[in-house]
């Protein structure tokens, strides 16, 4: 039980908690990278903070902790002959639930009356009722402290007022006890979250599990602790999945067993077990594909393929079809070799023309996304994950050109977005910036002049690109579409797992139309952020078709960025593993892939991706098509 005068130890603990909360608030305002929402108006007596000049905030010494424990009533200028008016004003303030914030609030007014007339029964009764009303509002605020740490500061402020008004009242003592409990829950949750962030899960020793379980012992079903328990379970599951990705399925079973003990009966465990099994299947498929790819190597390919078969047999279930297939292919390759995809073709169109030149991309698998320590990478490019294509596909050798797009536009079945809108974004040589210019559409080049027929078509929206693929489908009788971003990255990498399409380091000569330090604009401008020592002789898009990669595809590493079919997601959790486009019906934000003639080196990486409204058009963005086989 808490005594009315509050024990010293409890008071010290309250001060410590208050200081911790104040420090936490200061850190949040000083260190958050995102713009914070405007604070809600305060109902307390604290003065509103002065508006800090953008874009920085200066945090000075924080003396708010004392205010969380002590409250000094606002000064009320009251003359003895004005007591009745003051009581009426106090009663009105109480009715409006203005308890203590300023000199016109109920509690300061009643205290001022009682200071002059200590025996005033009406004032005493009004003060008692106001305290009850204040504590009732405090109870409502306490109910939010599990989810809102700022509410705990308000609860402390109310506690300070109640302690000043009547520290011995049972209602005050009960409220202070509840505030103490909220402090303890906050402290335990913060410690658990800190342990969780540091990967001290506590599966065997002290750690996050112990802290969250202590919270739940004090307050069963407390949402924040329940979320913490779920996070611990998820962390253990991630360890299991990580072990599975490394082919360590014994370790995966161990971590899953620990995860199952965190929240017995949790449905996520069965899902995790299914994912571990799926990882086993994906590893088998991946090593199967790598074994097949190894057979194409002229020297040690057969020996490497046999080592991959050994890896498959180590983790595969008895009778696995992929293991049997790889064993059979190895036997065939030892005698007959392999036929490699890569042939080019064009489809005849119903109007008598030919479609874009297409190149067959081999089926297989790859690791999609940025590596954990990749310089310039973002969370949106992670986690890296294995993607496997069960079938090959054909991709246009280069970006769709102005001439190819014109054949479609001349049918009159579609009117392009920039044409309807009357403007697009072009490069302005005079300022060195990208600006909006009227009269620019798909027939324009990067500065707004008429575009050459062999230039990649620019100033096209995602809808324009999709309309072109639908027209090709009708004209050819084969399904054309925009590439998924998995297909695009697979084609960009072409078997290379380095940060850039060419691997690591500076781009070799002829790598593509990139931003190089040797490039110069017509008026002599150069790039402020470019590949050092590189130049390709172009400022703006080059004619479609440069140097092909090993799959026979041009300009994936530069020239223009390109639309893909996918809707934008902030990362790859739950992304398809079979290379399909990740689409949410009705989404307006799509994925752009591939560096352009005006992209920074970081934006030229194989894993780079960007979100954009499906309606944007500009001088750096075009598209290419994929055809199902």
How many whole angstroms separate alpha carbon 155 and alpha carbon 16? 16
How many whole angstroms separate alpha carbon 13 and alpha carbon 349? 80
In the chain, % of residues over pLDDT 90 = 67
Question: Strands 423-428 and 433-438: what pairing?
Answer: antiparallel
Please give the pLDDT value at position 8.
35
How many whole angstroms separate alpha carbon 470 and alpha carbon 170? 75
Please give the pLDDT value at position 425.
98
pTM of the model: 0.51
Please give the pLDDT value at position 267.
87
Q: What is the mean pLDDT of the chain?
A: 86
pLDDT tens, 102-146?
Answer: 999 999 999 999 999 999 999 999 999 999 999 999 999 988 887
Q: What is the DSSP letter of 86?
A: H
Average pLDDT for residues 587-609, to the nearest whole number? Answer: 97
- Pick from 150, 140, 152, 146: nearest CA to 227: 146
Average pLDDT for residues 521-531, to the nearest whole number? Answer: 95
Please give the pLDDT value at position 63.
46
Residue 35: left (phi > 0), alpha (psi -120 to 50), or beta?
beta
Average pLDDT for residues 93-102, to the nearest whole number? Answer: 93
Alpha carbons within 13 angstroms on the beta-carbon side of residue 70 total: 6
Average pLDDT for residues 220-246, to the nearest whole number? Answer: 91
| 3-class secondary structure, 364 | strand
Average pLDDT for residues 77-82, to the nearest whole number? Answer: 90
Please give the pLDDT value at position 392.
80
Q: Which of these ranges, 58-72, 303-317, 561-575, 593-607, has the smallest mean pLDDT?
A: 58-72
Angle at 468 between CA 552 and CA 456, to 5 degrees: 50
Phi and psi dihedrals of 95, rounded to 5?
A: -60, -35
User: Hey, what are 529's tokens?
Assistant: 């952020």
Average pLDDT for residues 168-195, to the nearest whole number? Answer: 91
Please give the pLDDT value at position 297.
81
How many whole angstroms separate alpha carbon 388 and alpha carbon 289? 9
pLDDT tens, 479-497?
Answer: 999 999 999 999 999 999 9
Handedness of CA 317, 302, 550, 339 (dihedral sign): negative
Rounded (10°) angle between helices 249-262 and 267-294: 160
Q: Exposed/middle/buried for 8, CB within 10 Å: 0-12, 13-18, 19+?
A: exposed
Decide if pLDDT at 259 tops 70: yes
User: Hey, what are 95's tokens?
Assistant: 């009715």
Alpha carbons within 13 angstroms on the beta-carbon side of residue 13 total: 16
Decide if pLDDT at 11 tops 90: no
pLDDT tens, 320-344?
Answer: 999 999 998 887 666 534 435 687 8
- Pick from 546, 408, 386, 523: nearest CA to 474: 408
Phi and psi dihedrals of 621, rounded to 5?
A: -125, 125
Average pLDDT for residues 365-372, to the nearest whole number? Answer: 96
Decide if pLDDT at 65 tops 50: no
Q: Which of these ranges, 12-16, 33-37, 121-125, 335-339, has the smallest mean pLDDT?
A: 33-37
Residue labelled with tokens 């309250």? 14
Q: Where exactly are the structural domains of the chain?
A: 8-166, 278-336, 358-628
Strand-pair partners of 503: 500
How many whole angstroms separate alpha carbon 251 and alpha carbon 265? 21
CA distances from 375 to 221, 381, 500, 505, 586 (A): 42, 12, 11, 12, 34
Domain 358-628 belongs to what architecture? Answer: Alpha-Beta Complex (3.90)
How many whole angstroms separate alpha carbon 165 and alpha carbon 289? 77
pLDDT band with cut points at 50, 70 and 90 for residue 243: very high
Decide if pLDDT at 89 tops 50: yes
How many whole angstroms separate alpha carbon 561 and alpha carbon 541? 10
**Residue 326 contacts residue 351 (beta carbons within 8 Å):** no
Q: Exposed/middle/buried for 50, CB within 10 Å: 0-12, 13-18, 19+?
A: exposed
pLDDT band with cut points at 50, 70 and 90 for residue 577: very high
What is the per-residue DSSP string for 481-527? EPPPHHHHHHHHHTT--SSBTTBSSSPPTTS-S--BTT---TTS---
Rg, the chain, Cα only? 34
Sequence-distant (6+) residues with CB within 8 A of 150 are 25
Please give the pLDDT value at position 336.
39
User: Hey, what are 465's tokens?
Assistant: 């690109």
Average pLDDT for residues 221-249, to the nearest whole number? Answer: 91
Q: What is the DSSP letter of 157?
A: H
Please give the pLDDT value at position 335.
53
């Amino acid at each position: 039980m808490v005594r009315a005068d509050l024990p010293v130890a409890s008071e010290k603990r309250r001060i410590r908690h208050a200081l911790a909360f104040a420090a936490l608030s200061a850190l949040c305002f000083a260190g958050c990278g995102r713009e914070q929402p405007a604070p809600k108006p305060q109902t307390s007596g604290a003065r509103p903070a002065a508006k800090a000049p953008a874009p920085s905030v200066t945090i000075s010494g924080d003396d708010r902790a004392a205010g969380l424990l002590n409250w000094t009533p606002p000064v009320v200028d009251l003359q003895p002959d004005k007591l009745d008016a003051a009581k009426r004003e106090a009663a009105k303030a109480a009715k409006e639930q203005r308890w203590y914030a300023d000199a016109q609030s109920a509690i300061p007014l009643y205290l001022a009356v009682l200071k002059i007339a200590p025996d005033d029964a009406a004032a005493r009764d009004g003060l008692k009722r106001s305290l009850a009303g204040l504590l009732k509002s405090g109870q409502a605020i306490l109910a939010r402290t599990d989810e809102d740490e700022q509410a705990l500061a308000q609860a402390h402020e109310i506690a300070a007022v109640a302690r000043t008004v009547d520290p011995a009242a049972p209602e005050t003592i009960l409220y202070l006890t509840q505030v103490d409990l909220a402090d303890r829950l906050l402290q335990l949750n913060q410690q658990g979250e800190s342990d969780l962030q540091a990967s001290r899960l506590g599966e065997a020793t002290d750690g996050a599990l112990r802290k969250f379980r202590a919270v739940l012992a004090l307050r069963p079903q407390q949402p924040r602790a329940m979320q913490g328990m779920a996070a611990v379970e998820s962390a253990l599951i991630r360890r299991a999945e990580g072990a599975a990705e490394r082919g360590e399925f014994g370790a995966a079973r161990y971590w899953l067993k620990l995860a199952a003990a965190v929240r017995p009966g949790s449905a996520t465990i069965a899902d995790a077990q299914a994912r571990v099994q799926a990882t086993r299947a994906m590893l088998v498929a991946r090593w199967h594909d790598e074994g097949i790819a190894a057979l194409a190597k002229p020297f040690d390919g057969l020996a490497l393929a046999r080592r991959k078969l050994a890896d498959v047999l180590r983790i595969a279930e008895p009778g696995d079809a992929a293991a049997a297939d790889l064993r059979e292919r190895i036997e065939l390759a030892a005698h007959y070799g392999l036929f490699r995809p890569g042939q080019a073709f064009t489809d005849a169109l119903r109007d008598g023309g030919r479609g874009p030149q297409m190149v067959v991309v081999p089926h297989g698998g790859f690791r999609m996304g940025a590596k954990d320590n990749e310089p310039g990478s973002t969370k949106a490019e992670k986690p890296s994950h294995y993607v496997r294509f069960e079938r090959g596909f054909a991709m246009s050798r280069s970006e769709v050109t102005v001439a190819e797009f014109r054949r479609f536009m001349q049918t009159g079945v579609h009117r392009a977005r920039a044409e309807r809108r009357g403007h697009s974004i072009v490069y302005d040589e005079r300022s060195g910036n990208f600006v909006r210019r009227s009269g620019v559409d798909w027939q324009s080049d990067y500065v707004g002049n008429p575009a050459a027929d062999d230039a990649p078509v620019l100033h096209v929206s995602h809808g324009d690109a999709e309309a072109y693929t639908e027209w090709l489908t009708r004209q050819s009788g084969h399904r054309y579409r925009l590439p998924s971003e998995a297909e695009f990255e697979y084609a960009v990498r072409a078997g290379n797992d380095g940060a850039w399409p060419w691997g690591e380091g500076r781009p070799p000569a002829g790598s593509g139309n990139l931003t190089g330090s040797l490039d110069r604009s017509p008026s002599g401008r150069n790039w402020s952020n470019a590949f050092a020592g590189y130049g390709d002789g172009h400022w703006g898009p080059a004619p479609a078709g440069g140097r092909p990669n090993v799959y026979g595809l041009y300009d994936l590493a530069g020239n223009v960025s390109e639309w893909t079919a996918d809707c934008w997601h902030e990362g790859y959790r739950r992304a398809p593993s079979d290379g399909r486009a990740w689409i949410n019906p009705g989404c307006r934000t799509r994925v752009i892939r591939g560096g352009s003639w005006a992209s920074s080196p970081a934006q030229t990486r194989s894993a780079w991706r960007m979100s954009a409204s499906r309606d944007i058009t500009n001088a750096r963005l075009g598209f290419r098509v994929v055809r199902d086989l």
